[in-house]
Amino acid sequence: MKIQSMNNERGVTLVELLVALVIAAITLAGVYRVFISQTRSYAVQDQVVEVQQSVRSAMDIILRDLRMAGFDDDNPNALVYTVPIAITTVGTNTIAVNYEYYNRTLNQYELHRVTYAVNGSSQLTRTLNVTAAVAPVPNPSTEVLLDNVTLPPDGIFRYGIDNNMDRIMDDQNGDGVITAADYVAAGSVGTARVVAIRVSLTGGPNPTNVDVAKIVSPRTLVSAVTLRNICLR
More confident position, 159 or 211: 159
Concatenated DSSP letters for 23-81? Answer: HHHHHHHHHHHHHHHHHHHHHHHHHHHHHHHHHHHHHHHHHHHHHHTT-----TTS--P
Q: What spatial distance separates the first Cα and last Cα of the chain, rounded to whole Å?
A: 118
Average pLDDT over residues 191-216: 84
What is the overall mean pLDDT for the chain? 86
Query: Is the pLDDT confidence value at 41 over 80?
Result: no
Q: Mapped to the 3 state alphabet, what secondary structure does 69-100 carry?
A: CCCCCCCCCCCCCCCCCCEEEECCCCEEEEEE
pLDDT for the residue numbered 7? 56
Question: pTM for the complete prediction?
Answer: 0.80
- Tell me the pLDDT band of 4, cut-offs 50, 70 and 90: low
pLDDT digits (tens, 9 = 90+) for 55-114: 999 999 999 999 999 888 776 655 455 556 889 999 999 999 999 999 999 988 899 999
- Would you give the distance in Å from CA 209 to the centre of its chain? 19
The candidate with the shortest Cα–Cα distance to 199, out of 59, 65, 99, is: 59
Alpha-carbon distance 5 to 59, whole Å? 85
Strand order in the sheet with 193-203: 157-162, 193-203, 219-226
